[in-house]
Structure 1
Amino acid sequence: MAITLTRVHNPMNPQPMGQMNVTPFIDVLLVLLIMLIMTIPIATHTTDVDLPASCSGCTSNADRNTVTIDEADRLFWNGAPVTREALKAQVGNAARLPEEPLLEFKPAALASYDASAKTIALIKDAGATRFAFIGDAEHRSFGQEE
């Protein structure tokens, strides 16, 4: 039994084509794609958000307090070491001022996540409303060499 790889066109003895015609299949897929695109709802409801305008120098250093955590999970308030209770008292006192200063939080790259999360919860419980993370660009590698 030999398999013939070439086909001679014989109009007297037509053979069925061994290939599938995919053109109707592609047409059906395109119609379904167009129907899908037309039925996707347009986003008509939006939420307006007031974003603050960038202002360099709007807040002076006197209007800022910094909470840092080092690699050994020690807490610092404006560079001075503090306990958790003292930090809560400091943040509470700052939150009660007529114009609350910005509280900047800067954990070290190798500080534990647990200590950072507990400190953020402590700051929230103390009543701080103006809070910012700083030093994000320094922690892209989280202590790993790039």
Structure 2
Amino acid sequence: MKDRAMSRWSTYDPYYIELGDKKIVDIIITHHAQDRWISRVDRGSAGLEEIGQFIWDRLRRGQIEPYYRHDEDVYIVDDDLLMVVNFAVSEQERDLIGNPLHKMLIITFLGRLSESLELRDLRSYYSWLRHSRRMTLVKNARTRK
């Protein structure tokens, strides 16, 4: 995709895809994200290339958006799939003007909204998880004494 020539002489197709104010040049998928993809999204054995191709395709189409207006770590794909993402500035890559390009690091896939209704409000879901874990720890501490 990088440096692909366009139809006009001496012009090049941009080799990055914009997502908000970031210019994505590379996608990195963690092992945890691949495991979550298999268990929560595809249910089959998906390779890193297939997942990366899916994300690139959705980026090109503009179907990846921030889930919350002011947060930049949770994104929604196709209005259904939630993923947690971090961005890192690429040290080797710059655009033609010299602006920095970014790597998209996919931490995990949370699941599909159509399958898990509790994902609709992530903040209350995570506070509930913290509370339930805390109460489990308190209950286990009481039984040990």
TM-score, normalized by length of structure 2?
A: 0.19
Bigger proportion of residues as strand: 2
Higher relative contact order (CA 8 A, sep 6+): 2
- Could you state the TM-score of these two structures normalised by the residue count of structure 1? 0.19
- The higher radius of gyration belongs to 1
